[in-house]
Amino acid sequence: MGFFSFYCGLIYNDFFSIPLNLFGTCYNLETGERKDTDCTYPIGIDPVWYLSRQEISFLNSIKMKLGVILGVAHMSLGIVMKGLNARSRGNKLDFYFEFLPQLVMLVCMFGYMDLLIVIKWL
C-alpha cells in the first residue's frame, strides 16, 4: 500500500498536496512559453500546472482518468485470477459460464472506455 501511495505521489507530482519540483519545468514562468519545443517532463505532471488558472480542471480530469484506468486494470486482474483458479481446479463450468462472460463484459464496456481515454490523450 505504501509503494502505491509513493507511486501515485510521483505521478501527480505532489507530497501531502504540496507540488514537487523534482526536474524543473519545461516552461518559462515569466512568459509562459516553452523553453524547448522537444522538452518533455520525465515523470508525472509539470509543476507549472500548479500555477495556472486551469489547475483544478486539469488536475481533476487527469486524476479521474488515471483512477478509471487503474481501477479497470485492477478489476481485470481479479477476473483473470478467477479464470486461472477455475482452470487449475478443472472447473470448466465456472471457466466458460463465469470467467469468459465477465471478461467479455468488462473489456467491451470499460476496456473500450479506457481505449477512448488513451486515444484522446494521444
Task: Report the pLDDT value the prediction gives residue 114, as an integer from 0 to 100.
Answer: 95
Query: Cα dihedral angle (106, 108, 114, 115), rounded to 10 degrees?
Result: 150
Task: Report the pLDDT value the prediction gives residue 44, as an integer from 0 to 100.
Answer: 77
Q: Measured between alpha carbons, how far apart are the two ends of the chain, in Å?
A: 30
Task: Report the pLDDT value the prediction gives residue 20, as an integer from 0 to 100.
Answer: 77
Q: Tens-of-pLDDT digits for all 122 residues of the chain?
A: 678 778 877 777 777 777 777 888 888 888 878 888 888 888 778 888 888 888 889 888 888 998 899 899 999 999 999 999 999 999 999 999 999 999 999 999 999 999 999 999 88
Cα separation, 64 vs 59, in Å, equals 8
pTM value is 0.73
